[in-house]
Amino acid sequence: MTNLEGAPEEASDVRGRVAELHAIREQVRRGPSERATEAQKAKGKLTARERIDLLLDEGSFNEVEPLRRHRATGFGLEEKRPYTDGVITGWGTVHGRTVFVYAHDFRIFGGALGEAHATKIHKIMDMAIAAGAPLVSLNDGAGARIQEGVSALAGYGGIFQRNTRASGVIPQISVMLGPCAGGAAYSPALTDFVFMVRETSQMFITGPDVVQAVTGEKVTQNGLGGADVHAETSGVCHFAYDDEESCLEEVRYLLSMLPQNNRENPPVVESEDPADRRGEALLDLVPADGNRPYDMRKVIEEIVDDGDYLEIHERWATNIIVALARLDGQVVGVIANQPQSLAGVLDIEASEKSARFIQMCDAFNIPLITLLDVPGFLPGVDQEHGGIIRHGAKMLYAYCNATVPRISVILRKAYGGAYIVMDSQSIGADLTYAWPTNEIAVMGAEGAANVIFRRQIAGADDPEAMRARMVKEYKSELMHPYYAAERGLVDDVIDPVETRTVLIRSLAMLRTKHADLPSRKHGNPPQ
């Protein structure tokens, strides 16, 4: 009888403990207070959990260590020990595929990083690396938790180390949804992609007050490190959006184009765009006159599946385009000169932009398609003194080091060192095609004629007529569309309308490409 009477009492105790657990979980879910939530909303920002819900598939989030609390004492910390310690960590799915995430909760200690906070991030990063799945950080934090001293700084060191270990192994995406100052800004800089939201997110090493105190320059937070500054001027930010909802939706879209890790290929989708679709519009998009500009984006739209592509660094180094797209359902990386901006020349920023993109594609098994219309490197004292030699070499190094399938198409101009650097056959392109409008040469005909026939032009009765004659002669001898093909420098001269079909067939052949690099610890790329 006693046992029978005792059983309900024990069950009641279990139910009580379960009720207590649910109460704690509800407290964790709600966050620190309604007042803190209202303050977050007043800044036009979502809460950390709302952001996670937008990022991940509905109902897929699994939280890790939601009950974690700090153990620090002093400065009143022992009296304030909220659950999660200001960061929410876990995993879920995006389009059905596993993704790990951590999100700073600005309502708790301003999202500042303390020892327990950092330990949670370290754990989820280790899990992402071990599982071979992408990691997304939703950043909205005020830097290191000053009250915890150097322990907080050491936590950043652990994050940086893991960012570096994961580099080229799993995709890493940083989404800036609030302030990110000081050393905290280096973690996003180590990741593959950085997203920012205008007005609410900023990144800088030293804030406006310090800048004014040291240099006397007055600047706002957004003027120093806002989304537009980093999207257009510094190149730190790859994507900038007006609101968090559209930003997180684009993160989901980017993840749909990336593999889970470096051992897998990007996801393939069924394409309704015919592989043999002819691009008749290409005949009118690209003028035969090499001095006339056009929009390379329209060429890309005509070639890729459904005209759909994701441009990266759209507003920085606009003289070159880098984008992810699909050809017959397969993800490809596109690098293309943009004749509408600086005539499509290569400069310091274009070289850096391309090099990083090429390395990312190579790391994650994404084939490279290069569309050339390049008149050369940008001349000038600023470029030379700024190190165009070493910066241009970054792009060259990235192409030469890439082992993924590489196909280049020369649309029009391909002059000098810029032609060689942009994945020419001589640096290892698997296949090189050219349109019949191509001009592959050491330099433009006018410049070449002025060098080669300088004396004849100077000694002629009519120098301008002689120059025109020599330019025409140089073009007919060395710059006709089939000169490079006759010497095996391009694999074929193709009809522009067949470009899409040729690329898709070539990629299908190269899908099983295998290339071995020399045994080494790592290379020493130009800096």
* Residue 266 in tokens: 């990007």
Q: Is 465 annotated in the active site?
A: no
Active-site position among 417, 428, 447, 508: 417
C-alpha–C-alpha distance, residues 431 and 491, integer Å: 6
C-alpha–C-alpha distance, residues 367 and 334, integer Å: 9
pLDDT tens digits, one per residue of 34-72: 887 888 888 889 999 999 999 999 999 999 998 888 666
Q: What is the rounded end-to-end Cα distance, in angstroms, of the chain?
A: 81
C-alpha–C-alpha distance, residues 161 and 190, integer Å: 10
Active-site position among 182, 329, 428, 447: 182
C-alpha–C-alpha distance, residues 40 and 25, integer Å: 21
- Are the C-beta atoms of residues 396 and 354 closer than 8 Å to each other? no
Residue-level pLDDT at 6: 47
Active-site position among 418, 429, 434, 449: 418
SS3 at position 343:
helix
Tally DSSP H helices, then E strands, for the chain.
21, 17
* H runs (alpha helix) in 337-415: 348-363, 381-385, 388-401
Residue-level pLDDT at 12: 65
DSSP element (H, E) containing 473 = helix 463-478
pLDDT tens digits, one per residue of 434-455: 999 998 887 766 776 677 777 7
Residue with tokens 């609030």: 178
C-alpha–C-alpha distance, residues 444 and 466, integer Å: 17
Residue 412 phi, psi dihedral angles, 5° rounding: -145, -110
Phi-psi category of 413—alpha, beta or left, where left has phi over 0 and alpha has psi -120 to 50? beta
Residue-level pLDDT at 517: 82
Q: Is 417 annotated in the active site?
A: yes
Q: Is 182 annotated in the active site?
A: yes
Active-site position among 183, 329, 387, 447: 183
Residue-level pLDDT at 81: 72
Residue-level pLDDT at 5: 47
The parts of the chain modelled with pLDDT lower than 50 are 1-2, 4-7
* H runs (alpha helix) in 167-258: 186-190, 208-215, 221-225, 227-229, 244-256
Residue-level pLDDT at 2: 45
Residue-level pLDDT at 365: 97
What residues does 409 pair with on adjacent strands? 371, 433
Residue among 72, 169, 74 at smallest CA distance from 113: 72
Residue-level pLDDT at 72: 67
* Tally of CB atoms within 10 A around 328: 22
- Measured N-to-C along each axis, helices 296-303 and 499-510 cross at an angle, to the nearest 10 degrees, of 60
Q: Is 48 annotated in the active site?
A: no
